[in-house]
Structure 1
Amino acid sequence: MLYEYAVEPAAIGSSWQNFRYLFEKFGFDRGRLISRFPGKWEREVYAAANAMKPLERARLEVALREGKQTKFIRSGRPYDPALGTWFQNAVTQHAVAPFHAIISEHNPAAVSGVITVDDVDERHPLMMSSHTWEVERVGTTLAAAMRPLLTSAKTILFVDRFFDLSKAAYQETLKACLDVISAAGGNEVRCEIHFCDHDKRPPPEIVAREAHRWVNGMLPAGMSLLLFGWKERPGGEDFHARNLLTDIGGISVEAGFSAEGAHQKVQLGLLTPDLVKSKLDALVRTSAVYELVQPVLEIRSDGSVHSA
């Protein structure tokens, strides 16, 4: 699962040993994400690293920069210096919109949900994160499970052999996901749907005529949705796996994105960065893995459809 942690900048930045030990515990592929709390969290960590040797501080700076795409999630929580310390702010926000846990140097009041740096361990109950889990096949439930990726990514691909915008079951999940993206201010996010072409799928001319009705009210102003159809190459890979792929991580969606109801479950699984990259590479326009079916269609927020 994907869990959000508040990590005290002064604690993780207190030494190179602390930073390296804690920082490696996080990532979309590990199921643990560092909340940008406050919004300039990386800057606070760098400021706290003043006591480090210059080489260690330089390595920390590189690690923070490289981790920007894979280890952080926007918090969206207010931070009020008037409340006092970072710890006091974190505990206050934890009571309003809980983190999965707070990691800090100390926990003087024995606040529940806090792990001190000395106690951070893969076997700690609050550090355990399953890499596969099940959720109900309901659009809002699927979107909630994928929320950390949907709110942090700049490019999002819904990959499902049978994804069909004309079907209510797919519309439900897509709308729920787009609502999450929109609420996070993601109207500049690039969203794509990748599916396998087959005889029962609406042809491009039908999509162009009816898409405004299928996605009515779903797309935030300024956002567009790209539709990619693919064919399997003779003797090549099949187009079976269903995945949410992004520029920062990915999740396998075993049974696909169709919302079939709470009586059914779908298994989700975290994908490694290497696997995400290989799957993304297989879905570029010049792919040698699958054959692109032209035209690629772009549905805009005003309902118009264009070749892209």
Structure 2
Amino acid sequence: MIYEHLIEPSLLAKLAQDRRNCKDFVRQFSEPSPRVISNFPKFKSFRKLAYNALSIDDSENTKQRLDELILFVKEAHRVERTNVFSGEISWHENVALASKSCFADYALVERQEPEYFSGKIIRLKDFEEGLDDLQGQAIVEKEVGKMVGAFGNLLRLSQDITFVDPYFSDNPKVWEVFIALVSEAVKDAPCKGTSITVLYSAEKANLPAPSHLLNKFERENPHLFDDLDRLEFITLESKADNEDLHNRYLITELAGLSLGFGFDARGEGQTDDVSILGKELYETRYKQYVEMEAFTLVNKVSKIIRHK
């Protein structure tokens, strides 16, 4: 439901020539859109290349709109990549090499297509003709493979991942999905260093202790455990006159998903409504759950994996 977009810097300069194209770009990359911007090349290099693409004939309005687009990119959630951007070769050659080492969903280009690009191409003329929206909602079958297919790209592209499920446990229907999702998070990730946090309720009966879950994970999945930078299980209780720990979310630095029934597999024919959170909702839920402003921490067990 989330898709990485590698953007040719000169495309931004061209979009800045038309106000409608600028508005479309901002809308397409604002929550709850599934489109996210790749931080490749790094922002300072990207900004320099975009400004260098301006023509001496471009108007002051174009330059001002480019300033606004550059600021938007700077403040947007961006996918990190370990690939090194070389100034000795073209953007197209860099993108081809980056997508060869790790799959990329889309490339936004002015005209020329990168050779051997792994994903889909969006050209300037596509913006001019009107870009189709990607869906930010889905009906997801509650079967392991279907859930991995729906959530996997967000997990793969993210580095800091928080699962929120008040009834999280080592029940096989929950645990199997969790292991499959964590496996997807570290497989073919564009940037190494994935951290996983699981938040669940300290007020529900018969749920396992965080220490039990951490030990079970490490014992049963040692190689997957070693692939993570951090893994932690945390129980919470609601603060007085504040949010109840009730809804289920998957929240990362890139986006947040809201789930109706949680992370358990219920078999063929059982479905769940999944939606990408809008900007205001995302910021609210991020503060409440990831920063834990709405809850009291009861028990926390974590392990930071020291990679050699």
Give the structure-1-normalised TM-score: 0.72
Q: What do residues 138-176 of structure 1 show as CA deviations (whole Å, max 9, x unaligned)?
A: 334323323443233332111111111x22333323223
Aligned pair partner of 1:228 in 209, 234, 237: 234
CA distance in 2, matches of 1:86, 1:208: 44
Structure 1 35/207 Cα, relative in aligned 2: closer, same or farther at 3 Å?
Answer: closer
Equivalent-residue separation in structure 2 for 1:204 and 1:273 (angstroms): 31
Conserved? CA contact 1:285–1:292, under 8 Å: no
* 1:204 Cα deviation from its structure 2 partner: 4.7
Alignment correspondent of 1:175 = 179
Judging by fraction of residues, say which structure has more helix.
2
Partner residue in 2 for 1:26: 29
Does the aligned pair in 1 maintain the 2:210–2:234 contact within 8 Å? no
CA distance in 2 between counterparts of 1:270 and 1:146 reads 11
Matched residue count: 286
Identify the match of residue 64 of structure 1 among 61, 70, 73.
Answer: 73
In structure 2, the CA distance between the partners of 1:61 and 1:236, relative to structure 1 (3 Å rule), is closer
SS at match of 1:257: coil
Of 298, 301, 308, which residue of structure 1 is paired with 2:302?
298
Aligned: 1:117 with 2:124: yes
Query: 1:156–1:245: 8 Å Cα contact kept in structure 2?
Result: yes
Distance 1:145 1:156 in 2: 15
> What TM-score results when the alignment is normalised by the length of structure 2?
0.72
Aligned runs of 1:121-140 on 2, under 5 Å?
Answer: 124=131, 127-140=132-145
SS of equivalent residue, structure 1 residue 146: helix
Distance 1:57 1:300, change over 3 A: closer
| Within-5 A mapping of 1:212-291 | 212-221=218-227, 223-233=229-239, 236-283=242-289, 287=293, 289-291=294-296
Gap change, CA 1:27 and 1:219, over 3 Å in 2: farther
Give the match's secondary structure for 1:12.
helix
Matched residue type, 1:144: G
Partner in structure 2 of residue 306 of structure 1: none
User: Matched residues in 2 for 1:99 and 1:284: separation?
Assistant: 27
Matching residue's letter, 1:265: T
Can you list the C-alpha shifts for 1:22-54, whole angstroms capped at 9, x where unaligned?
Answer: 430214521223456778665543432354546
Displacement of 1:2 after TM fit? 3.0
Structure 2 matches for 1:10-25, cutoff 5 A? 10-14=10-14, 16-18=16-18, 20-24=22-26, 25=28
Q: Pairwise mapping of residues 154-173 of structure 1 onto structure 2 (< 5 A)?
A: 154-164=159-169, 166-173=170-177
C-alpha RMSD over aligned residues: 4.1
Residue segments in structure 2 that go unaligned for 5+ positions in a row: 114-119
Cα distance change on mapping 1:275 and 1:5 into 2, 3 Å: same
Q: Give the secondary structure class of the aligned counterpart of 2:224.
A: coil
Question: Contact between 2:6 and 2:104, CA under 8 Å: does it hold in 1?
Answer: no
Q: Aligned pair in 2 of structure 1 residues 152, 30: CA closer, same or farther (>3 Å)? A: same
